[in-house]
Chains A and B, each alone.
Chain A
Amino acid sequence: MEFVAQHPVLVVSLVKIVVLLLLLMTALAYLTWFERKVVARIQARIGPLYVGAHGLLQPLADGVKFLFKEDVTPPASDRFVYVLAPFLALSLAMATIALIPFGPATIMILGVPTHLAIADVSLGLLFLFAITSMGVYGVALAGWSSNSKYPLLGGLRSSAQMVSYEVSLTLSVVGVVLLSGTLNFNELITNQSGYWYHIIPHWNVIPQLIGFFCYFIAAIAETNRVPFDLPEAETELVAGFHTEYSSFKFAMFFMAEYANMITVSCLAAILFFGGWLSPFPDRWTWQLYLPGAGLVLGAIWLAYDTAMKQRGIARIQLAVVTALALILGVACLIPAVMPIVQGPFWFLLKVLCFLFFYVWTRGTLPRFRYDQLMDFGWKFLLPVSLANLVVTAFVVTVRNR
């Protein structure tokens, strides 16, 4: 206990890391469920239904399956690099969550004022890009070490694509940095507070609309998702760079891809949509009840579903989920907890919207051919990002004069 008293910052950081890691792993698992359900509905079917109520235990079943599958290692592969690649991909993808702020200001834990982020770095945005730029290695090394033609081609193509779109990604964000004058995440968010005409929030998406579109397209390409997922499409290159991977190593690549999606969505929410700021003016105090009210309404709908539609064990599982939702909803309505919940609630809502958009494009758009993809990245997206940067710089200079 003395250790806790003498090093409060360290202990609080460790607790934050553990909590955030557990939440992230759960979010990754249920993101796969979310994607399968939404893509299924777009394709006029239902998706996972039988494993648990509404297929909610499907991620658990998938995880168990991955753990028990036979781990096949190609005999001629480079053993060290083969094992290193998925670890590298997953650890880099999960490291970025340390920089992202989930809520405003400071709350006091153990007498230490803490931000709702693991690390509040003054150059946060730059370090986030540094970590994502290292993500190319996971893909390239996986392709190389499998010692097989299709993975090598897939790995080379995929890493070339990631490197190309990384340039547009970073350039499209510089407009936002120019407007705010800082690279720190918390300051980027607080510079977006305030309202025009008392009703329209001051978010960066309005002056930087082109920047936002460039950013989001580059982000989809960077995370190797449809329509930019030729290197890992099943009909094209078997499975691209993760062809020769099985069981848990494949699961690690899978999780790394979803973790990258979450990171990029968080970044879009922070940079362009005000992070944890609420879209409604502060005068409207009824918005404080939104998290609690939303959760309670969800619990009521779930209760209806449990009573009317479910049978057998699914009914029991769904009843547990309903009870959980109800407890969380009521907890959010306690006056002491209410202000703390606001920031994370809006942030998570925005991230969820972006993730929905990702899954929506997956269900809707066909994929690019590789040369179309590279043409688009270098000949269209890069000039547009540059033009956005130049115009923003010009406007900022004229405005400051």
Chain B
Amino acid sequence: MTLPLILFFVFAGLAVLGALLMIFLREPIHSALALILVMVALAALYLLLGAEFIAAVQIIVYAGAVMVLFVFVIMLLNAGEEERTNLSKLAHYVGWPLGIFLTVELVYWMSRATIGARVTTPTIAPGDPTRDLSMLLFKSYLFPFEITSILILIALLGALVLAKRDS
């Protein structure tokens, strides 16, 4: 039981726990906190996979900005407890088994992924991985990068227009 394996199980357990809490807690603010736990656990898993920059971006953008937005909206809308559902019994009895079957099937096929049972690269490739990422981002993927920045601008304007009151 090497240290990386122990760390993996700890953070994977935290991630699954967070996801389960998100489903089964009734107040939206508690679900949001559970989702923040999932994101931080995933950032730690990215660090285990050697993706330092992606881990930092995950915390800064996802856990530190997107979830803050969710928490703000929950606070502004004063979201209370979930109401009782009026789901038909059929949907309830068919939906849960189907959902669980989907999960089990995905798990089965993922565990049989044939890209190699172990990580075959012995060490992280020499050189600065952040520098490699930025080279890719600004050379090969420059066009998607610029399009994404325009997309963000459009989303900004759209959200502004939508959230404005008619005054």
Among A78, A131, A140, the residue within 8 A (CB) of B72 is A140
**Contact between B68 and A126 (Cβ–Cβ < 8 Å)?**
no
**Contact between B59 and A130 (Cβ–Cβ < 8 Å)?**
yes
Q: Mark A127-151, 1 if CB is under 8 A from B, else 0.
A: 1011101101100110110000000
Among A78, A134, A159, A183, the residue within 8 A (CB) of B29 is A78
Q: How many residues of B contact A (CB 8 A)?
A: 20
Q: A133 and B64 in contact (CB under 8 A), knowing A144-B75, A152-B75, A156-B72?
A: yes
A377 to B76, CA, bound (A): 22
**Contact between B71 and A130 (Cβ–Cβ < 8 Å)?**
no
- CB-defined contacts of A122 to chain B, threshold 8 Å: 52, 128, 130
Closest B residue to A135 by CB, please name it.
Answer: B64
- CB-defined contacts of B145 to chain A, threshold 8 Å: none
- CB-defined contacts of B33 to chain A, threshold 8 Å: 81, 84, 141
- CB-defined contacts of B15 to chain A, threshold 8 Å: none
- Residues from 42 to 63 in B contacting A, C-beta threshold 8 Å: 52-53, 56, 59-60, 63
A330 to B64, CA, bound (A): 47
**Contact between A130 and B75 (Cβ–Cβ < 8 Å)?**
no
Whether B41 is near chain A, meaning CB under 8 Å from some CB there, is no
Q: A123 and B130 in contact (CB under 8 A), knowing A81-B29, A163-B68?
A: yes
Whether A394 is near chain B, meaning CB under 8 Å from some CB there, is no
A159 to B65, CA, bound (A): 11
Whether B27 is near chain A, meaning CB under 8 Å from some CB there, is yes
Among A80, A126, A156, residue most surrounded by chain B Cβ atoms (within 10 Å): A126
- Residues from 69 to 90 in A contacting B, C-beta threshold 8 Å: 78, 80-81, 84
- CB-defined contacts of A81 to chain B, threshold 8 Å: 29-30, 33
Whether B38 is near chain A, meaning CB under 8 Å from some CB there, is no
A160 to B63, CA, bound (A): 16
- CB-defined contacts of A129 to chain B, threshold 8 Å: 56, 60
Interface residue SS majority, chain A: helix
**Contact between B68 and A127 (Cβ–Cβ < 8 Å)?**
no
Closest B residue to A140 by CB, please name it.
Answer: B71
Q: A130 and B60 in contact (CB under 8 A), knowing A140-B68, A152-B75, A159-B72?
A: yes
A126 to B57, CA, bound (A): 8
A144 to B27, CA, bound (A): 13
**Contact between A133 and B72 (Cβ–Cβ < 8 Å)?**
no
- CB-defined contacts of A160 to chain B, threshold 8 Å: 72
**Contact between B65 and A163 (Cβ–Cβ < 8 Å)?**
yes
Q: Mark A310-323, 1 if CB is under 8 A from B, else 0.
A: 00000000000000
**Contact between A183 and B72 (Cβ–Cβ < 8 Å)?**
no
Whether B36 is near chain A, meaning CB under 8 Å from some CB there, is yes
Q: Mark B56-88, 1 if CB is under 8 A from A, else 0.
A: 100110011100100110011000000000000
Q: A123 and B52 in contact (CB under 8 A), knowing A129-B60, A133-B60, A133-B65?
A: yes
CB distance from A153 to the nearest CB of B (A): 11
- CB-defined contacts of A80 to chain B, threshold 8 Å: 30
A144 to B30, CA, bound (A): 12
- CB-defined contacts of B65 to chain A, threshold 8 Å: 133, 163
- CB-defined contacts of B63 to chain A, threshold 8 Å: 133-134
- CB-defined contacts of B27 to chain A, threshold 8 Å: 78
**Contact between A156 and B75 (Cβ–Cβ < 8 Å)?**
yes
Closest A residue to B25 by CB, please name it.
Answer: A80
A353 to B163, CA, bound (A): 44
Q: A130 and B64 in contact (CB under 8 A), knowing A140-B72, A140-B75?
A: yes
Closest B residue to A123 by CB, please name it.
Answer: B52
Q: Residues of A with Cβ closer than 8 Å to B?
A: 78, 80-81, 84, 121-123, 126-127, 129-131, 133-134, 136-137, 140-141, 143-144, 152, 155-156, 159-160, 163, 183
> 6 nearest interchain CB pairs?
A133-B64, A130-B59, A126-B56, A130-B60, A144-B75, A130-B56
Apart from A127-B56, A156-B76, A163-B65, 8 more pairs, CB < 8 Å: A123-B56, A126-B60, A131-B59, A133-B63, A133-B65, A140-B71, A140-B72, A140-B75
Show 21 A/B contacts (Cβ-Cβ < 8 Å), sorted by A.
A78-B29, A81-B33, A84-B33, A122-B128, A123-B53, A126-B53, A127-B56, A130-B60, A133-B59, A134-B59, A137-B36, A137-B68, A140-B71, A141-B33, A144-B71, A155-B75, A156-B75, A156-B76, A159-B68, A159-B72, A160-B72
